[in-house]
């Protein structure tokens, strides 16, 4: 009705004053509010929303959709595919059943992940400190060189270590030549921990090096000139300023280590059953997808809660350079 009235009114105006040229500026100003308030522009996205649309779609399809599917299967009838058509807590009841020993797998996964993070922090910190002091602002680029082992398949590298530690292998055979004998390393929890430290070293080293590179050298030199000891400089200056990079490296390696399964299979010989192995068995051999989804969802909740707790201690504004 408004459009019709506008057209009628415009036509009447032209008939009443045919010799007066229309004021194009006023006409444009009059039509813009109507166009902005029209039904066709109600769903127009802003420029920022359009730019963030690929990121939003990627997160939706790559993270939210699989997680929602796993969550839906977790509440389905056991050993069925009645996803979105049934709702039961039987799968979680089976997990928390006192007769079920799956908690041991959770304990092994979380324990090995914590030990891996601690060992990596001890091993990677001196390397990162040396890189930051030797190469300065180029230390981040030099630390990328440690990423090159990632170009080789993880299983290939782990089987290489198996051949190294195997009885009559490289280590044992070499020691026998000099009259000794190699230690029994393979198929033990220690071998699993060694494999996890070896595989996830680059993920700890790179953010830790970046964090140490953010420490101003002038500040360290000023503290040294004022008589501060090396331990005091490390405790009061270096460690607090490098904490964001250290925490990011610890968080990243913890999340990856909790989901590790190849190390326990190849180097551990399944002497230790981790939770990801139980999830794999539920999805493949047992064909019990709802139970596997319940285990995966519970693991995601535990890791997510621990990760958010660690992220709450990070100053993201300082990491992003906003202050």
Each residue's pLDDT tens digit, 2-61:
444 444 344 434 444 444 444 444 444 444 444 444 455 566 778 888 888 888 899 888
Task: Count the neighbouring beta carbons within 10 Å of the beta carbon of residue 259.
Answer: 16
> What pLDDT was estimated at residue 315?
64
Alpha-carbon distances, residue 124 vs 41, 145, 201, 214, 264 (angstroms): 55, 14, 7, 17, 23
> What pLDDT was estimated at residue 279?
94
CA nearest neighbour of 231 among 239, 243, 222, 241: 239
pLDDT band at 136 (very low <50, low <70, confident <90, very high): low
Q: Element (H or E) spanning 237, and its range?
A: none
pLDDT at 283 over 60: yes
pLDDT band at 282 (very low <50, low <70, confident <90, very high): very high
Report how far residue 40's alpha carbon sits from residue 256's, in angstroms, rounded to the nearest whole number. Answer: 47
pLDDT at 102 over 80: yes
Choose the weakest-confidence range: 8-17, 153-162, 189-198, 221-230.
Answer: 8-17
304, 309, 313, 319: CA torsion to nearest 10: 0
Report how far residue 294's alpha carbon sits from residue 288's, in angstroms, rounded to the nearest whole number. Answer: 10
Report how far residue 293's alpha carbon sits from residue 282's, in angstroms, rounded to the nearest whole number. Answer: 9
Residues 228-259 pLDDT 10s: 888 899 888 888 888 888 888 999 999 999 99
250 and 306 in contact (C-beta within 8 Å)?
no
Residues 196-218 pLDDT 10s: 999 999 899 888 888 888 888 88
Q: In the chain, which residue ranges form alpha helices assigned H by DSSP?
A: 2-16, 24-36, 47-59, 65-74, 90-95, 102-135, 139-144, 154-165, 170-177, 189-213, 217-225, 230-233, 239-258, 262-266, 275-283, 289-311, 316-319
Structure tokens at 147: 């990423």
Q: Which residues of 266-305 are buried (b: 16+ CB within 10 A; e: fewer)?
A: bbbeeebbbbbbbbbebbeeeebbbbbbbbbbbbeeebee
DSSP 243-276: HHHHHHHHHHHHHHHHT--HHHHHTTTTSS--HH
> What pLDDT was estimated at residue 41?
54
Report how far residue 166's alpha carbon sits from residue 169's, in angstroms, rounded to the nearest whole number. Answer: 5
pLDDT band at 316 (very low <50, low <70, confident <90, very high): low
Choose the weakest-confidence range: 88-92, 117-121, 123-127, 237-241.
Answer: 237-241
Residue whose token pair is 């194009």? 24
């Amino acid at each position: 009705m408004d459009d019709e009235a506008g057209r009628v009114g415009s036509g009447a105006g032209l008939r009443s004053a045919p010799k007066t040229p229309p004021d194009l500026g006023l006409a444009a100003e009059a039509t813009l509010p109507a166009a902005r308030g029209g039904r066709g522009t109600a769903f127009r996205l802003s420029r920022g929303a359009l730019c963030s649309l690929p990121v939003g779609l990627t997160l939706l399809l790559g993270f939210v959709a699989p997680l929602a599917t796993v969550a839906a299967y977790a509440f389905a009838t056991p050993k069925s595919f009645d996803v979105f058509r049934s709702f039961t807590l039987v799968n979680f009841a089976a997990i928390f059943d006192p007769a079920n020993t799956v908690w041991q797998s959770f304990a092994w996964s979380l324990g090995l992940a914590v030990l891996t993070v601690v060992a990596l922090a001890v091993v990677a910190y001196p390397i990162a400190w040396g890189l930051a002091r030797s190469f300065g602002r180029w230390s981040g680029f030099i630390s990328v060189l440690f990423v090159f082992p990632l170009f080789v398949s993880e299983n290939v590298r782990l089987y290489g270590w198996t051949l190294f530690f195997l009885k009559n292998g490289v280590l044992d055979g070499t020691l026998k030549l000099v009259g000794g004998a190699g230690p029994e390393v393979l198929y033990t929890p220690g071998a699993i921990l060694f494999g996890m430290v070896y595989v996830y070293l680059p993920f700890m080293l790179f953010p830790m090096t970046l964090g140490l590179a953010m420490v101003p050298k002038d500040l360290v030199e000023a503290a040294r000139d004022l008589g501060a000891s090396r331990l005091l400089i490390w405790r009061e200056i270096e460690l607090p300023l490098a904490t964001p990079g250290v925490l990011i490296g610890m968080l990243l390696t913890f999340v990856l280590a909790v989901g590790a399964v190849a190390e326990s299979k190849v180097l551990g010989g399944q002497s230790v059953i981790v939770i990801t192995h139980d999830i794999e068995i539920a999805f493949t051999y047992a064909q019990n997808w709802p139970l596997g989804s319940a285990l995966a969802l519970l693991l995601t909740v535990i890791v997510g809660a621990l990760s958010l707790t660690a992220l709450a201690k990070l100053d993201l504004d300082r990491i992003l350079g906003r202050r």
